[in-house]
Each structure stands twice: as C-alpha cells, then as structure tokens.
Amino acid sequence: MNLEGMFFPESVAVIGASNREGKVGNAIMKSLKRKYSGRIYPINVKEDNVLGIDAFSSIINIEDEIDLAIIALPAKIVPKIVEECGEAGVGNLIIVSAGFSEAGRGDLEEKIKETVEDYDMNLIGPNCLGIYNPYNELDTIFNPPKRQDRPEPGSVAFLSQSGAFGAATLDWFSEADIGLSKFVSYGNRVDIDEADLIDHLSNDEKTEFIIYYIEGVKDGRRFFEAARRSTKPILAVKSGRTEEGSSAATSHTASLAGKDKVYEGAFKQSNVIRAYDLREMFNIAKAFSFQPLPHGDNVAIVTNGGGAGVMATDDLVDKGLNLARFTKKTKEDFDHAVEEGIIPEHATLDNPVDIIGDAPSDRYQKSIDIVLKDDNVDVVIVVLLFQSPAIEEDIIEKLDGLQGEKPIIAVAPGGRYTHKLTEKIEEKGIPVYQTPAEAVEAVWGLTRCCPKT
C-alpha cells in the first residue's frame, strides 16, 4: 500500500468546503489554508468561492489531478461522493463525517468499502479527524489552533482511533515540545487500518517511535504481525480493558474491544510496550523525544533529598529496572571528590547518591559526571529539589554540558519557581518530571524502546 499521496499530496480537494463559520468543512479549509503549500480545491454545490479560493460544484469538474480528497458531508450521501472520487481518479480519501457503523449504519460503510476497492483508492476513516503531517503542514483537523496546538516536526508518530482524544494528545504534546512525525486519526478504519499504518510508518524515515491509542483492532492477527515486523518501537494505550469499558467502546467506535488477556499476551509477544494511563504514555513519549536510548537498564540516581532517592529506588525495583552497582573506579572518583572538598564526607556515595540538601550545582556536576562515566551505568536520574537555597541556577548549563550518549532524566517536584527552572532545563533537551515514579516510568519506557536483539 503506497501512502505517499495520502501524507504528501500535491493537491487536495475538500468536499463539503464551506464559508459558514461552525461548519466542519469551513474549519478544515482554514486548517489547510494556514500553512499547507499544495494546491487546494474547495467543493461546494452552491458557492463559487470558499474562503477566497475558487470552488467547484463537483470533484468531477476539476481538471487537475487530485492526490487527496477530504470528505465532510452527511453520511448518507458519502457513498455517492466516494463513487465520484473514484471516477475522477482520486488516489486517496479521508472521510471525516460520522454517522456510520458507530451509529448503526454499517451498510453505508460496506458500499464505500466496495467502491474504494473497485477504484483501488486508499481511505482513512470515516468518523475521524484525518491527518496532521508537520513536515508539509498537511492539516485536516477541524479544531482551531487557538484551542488545539499542532506539534513541531519530530520523530514520534501518533495514531489514534479516537479523534477527540487524539486532538487532546496533540495539544498536550505541543505544549511539552514533543516533536511529531505524523498524526493519524483513523476512526472506523474501513480501509486503511492499524496494520497498514504500522507498515507504512515502519518504513517512514521521519518516524522513530510509534504511539497508538486503540479501543479494539480490526484484525488482531494482522495488527500483531505488523507490530512484530516493525523496525520502530511501538507503544500502545489500549482501552476497553474491562467489561464495562469494552461495552462503552462498542458504542464509541463500534469496536469489539476483546478480551484484555488476549491483548496483553499479544502485546508482549510482539514487543509492543503497553501503557495503562495517558500520563505514562506522555512521560515515555517525552523521554523518547528528548533523549538518546540507553544501552541497558542499570540506573544511577543522584539526589539532594534522601526521601526522593528512596522513592525512586522503590519505583525502579517495582518496574524491574536495576539500581546500578558502581565500579571500584567510581568509588575512587567519589573518594577523590570528597578529598577535594567538592562532596562532603556525610554524603551517601553509594547508589542512590545523596549529595544532601545543601548541594550547590558544582556538587551535582561532579557527581553526575562520575556516575555517567561508570560502565555499569546506562541512565542517570537526577533529582533536583529546587526548594533548597543551595542550588544555583547555573545548574541548567551544567546539566546541559553533561549530556552525551547516556540519557539523563530529571525529577523536580514543586511549584512556581521549580516550574520556571523546569522549563529552562527542558529547553536544553532534558525532560523533567514532577515525581520520582514518573521519571522511572519514562526510563522504563526508554529501556523498552531499545532495538530488539
């Protein structure tokens, strides 16, 4: 399946384009016009012009070759429109409209499916938001940017069965500066399904990590085979885990959520990382987007607060990660730093390293440098309790200077001052979490993303 024309169309028709505020076809036109530089063709049976662009009464009347048609019209006339797209030689379709199998009209979907196959078209939807591709600004999302930001280009592909939840996640990613390679909200996936998207993204040079929100997959076997084939790590949030949730999913996207145990087993077998909560998904995506992958799961902790070190240690063990055992060399380096007076004698220099409440940024720098050089350490978690008056703000530059091949993950619980500094550290590409458990979650996710051996 070649989806080049779907993600990088040179021409796009919007069927149902409208001048009327509040109409989906109006909002999509605005999203497209904002930055997308390809040719845009509004289709409207009554209007000659939509938002300053000449409009056509039917796709049949356009002489140009149309790579992608976006359909935003009432469900009942969509089968006819799809037929017209086929006749017009359109290669790719996105049907945004709802009112199909999720509303008891599976018959309409069947007709569309047949037509799409007859004309050998690719279809995303119906009942979806479509695509956002930050690399060419193809944007079929009808939510206004004022309410929903679009992420910058990056390496994370996000695929969502649910449109509304997909939009919320994009908005969250944007605020956190998590870079996106592609977003696809695929709704009822009558044609292109989960497996097709994995196959495509696995070969997409912009994508390094695939995140999936699913309620139920169309074809479990195909999905898990594609997941196993994928050269990119996949993280999935699967809802409808419980009987009650599964029943709610059925009325949402007409999904059969299926037995959760079956999914659980299949995720494991196909190396899909499973997140149970959105924040977990978000935490892992942020770490992946900001930091290199570790070469193993041995973690060093450096903290100015003993309590946070204890908590992080518990969380590491819970997640099956290892508290790194320092080499003799590291112990010697620490002893040396104590002799030099950079680290005080009563610091705890075993892992978790507690450089105590009065640690200035020099002490942090020295300790982190020592543990990063330890061959037994793959990742460093740095706890920064900024409430202590001792840490100077130059810790930001010092942390930045320590970045290299091993990932550094920071934890900084707190309020306003902490958030100000957090933002500056994240600008340097080091992700900062509010709690030890979340930082550990992120580290766990990173270790799971390592290439399969």
- Touching a second copy, residues 182-211 (CB under 8 A): none
Q: Which is nearer to a second copy, 91 or 309 (CB)?
A: 309
Q: Which is nearer to a second copy, 181 or 313 (CB)?
A: 313
Q: Are 433 and 287 in contact (CB under 8 A)?
A: no
Who contacts 236 (Cβ-Cβ below 8 Å, separation ≥6)?
211, 212, 213, 214, 267, 272, 273, 274, 275
Q: Please report how close the Cβ of residue 410 comes to a second copy at its closest, in angstroms.
A: 13
- Touching a second copy, residues 35-94 (CB under 8 A): none
- Touching a second copy, residues 403-442 (CB under 8 A): 413-419, 434-438
- Touching a second copy, residues 302-331 (CB under 8 A): 304-311, 313-318, 323
Q: Please report how close the Cβ of residue 228 comes to a second copy at its closest, in angstroms.
A: 26
Q: Please report how close the Cβ of residue 279 comes to a second copy at its closest, in angstroms.
A: 5
**Among 5-13, 48-56, 197-205, 301-309, the segment contacting a second copy (CB under 8 A):** 301-309
Who contacts 306 (Cβ-Cβ below 8 Å, separation ≥6)?
348, 354, 356
Look at the block and give the residue holding tokens 């690719």. 122
Number of residues that bind a second copy (CB under 8 A): 82
Q: Please report how close the Cβ of residue 423 comes to a second copy at its closest, in angstroms.
A: 13
Q: Please report how close the Cβ of residue 188 comes to a second copy at its closest, in angstroms.
A: 12
Q: Please report how close the Cβ of residue 219 comes to a second copy at its closest, in angstroms.
A: 20
Q: Write out the two tokens for 204.
A: 């997409």
Query: Distance between alpha carbon 184 and the CA centroid of its chain, in Å?
Result: 11
What's the CA gap between 452 and 439, in Å, rounded? 23
Q: Please report how close the Cβ of residue 315 comes to a second copy at its closest, in angstroms.
A: 8
Q: Which is nearer to a second copy, 25 or 309 (CB)?
A: 309
Q: Which is nearer to a second copy, 134 or 163 (CB)?
A: 163
- Touching a second copy, residues 365-384 (CB under 8 A): none
Q: Please report how close the Cβ of residue 189 comes to a second copy at its closest, in angstroms.
A: 14
Q: Which is nearer to a second copy, 19 or 174 (CB)?
A: 174
Q: Is 69 left (phi over 0), alpha (psi -120 to 50) or beta?
A: beta
What's the CA gap between 97 and 116, in Å, rounded? 16
Q: Which is nearer to a second copy, 203 or 251 (CB)?
A: 251
Who contacts 228 (Cβ-Cβ below 8 Å, separation ≥6)?
269, 270, 271
Q: Please report how close the Cβ of residue 248 comes to a second copy at its closest, in angstroms.
A: 5
- Touching a second copy, residues 230-289 (CB under 8 A): 239-245, 248-249, 251-253, 276-279
Half-sphere exposure of 372 (CA within 13 A, CB side): 18
For residue 210, give the nearest of 198, 199, 220, 194 by alpha carbon: 198
- Touching a second copy, residues 343-362 (CB under 8 A): 346, 348, 350, 352, 354, 357
State which of residues 101, 143, 188, 367 lies at the interface with a second copy (CB under 8 A): 143
Q: Write out the two tokens for 339.
A: 């002799």
Q: Which is nearer to a second copy, 144 or 401 (CB)?
A: 144
What's the CA gap between 355 and 80, in Å, rounded? 70
Amino acid at 34: R
What's the CA gap between 353 and 370, in Å, rounded? 11
Angle between helices 328-339 and 361-372 (to 10 degrees): 160
Q: Are 321 and 409 in contact (CB under 8 A)?
A: no
Q: Please report how close the Cβ of residue 375 comes to a second copy at its closest, in angstroms.
A: 20
Q: Running DSSP on this structure, what letter comes out for residue 452?
A: P
Half-sphere exposure of 161 (CA within 13 A, CB side): 27
Q: Which is nearer to a second copy, 92 or 253 (CB)?
A: 253
- Touching a second copy, residues 151-180 (CB under 8 A): 160-165, 167-169, 171-176
User: Does 386 interact with a second copy (rule: CB under 8 A)?
Assistant: yes
What's the CA gap between 236 and 232, in Å, rounded? 13
State which of residues 52, 320, 341, 389 lies at the interface with a second copy (CB under 8 A): 389
Q: Which is nearer to a second copy, 173 or 326 (CB)?
A: 173
Q: Which is nearer to a second copy, 53 or 310 (CB)?
A: 310
Q: Write out the two tokens for 23.
A: 């109409």
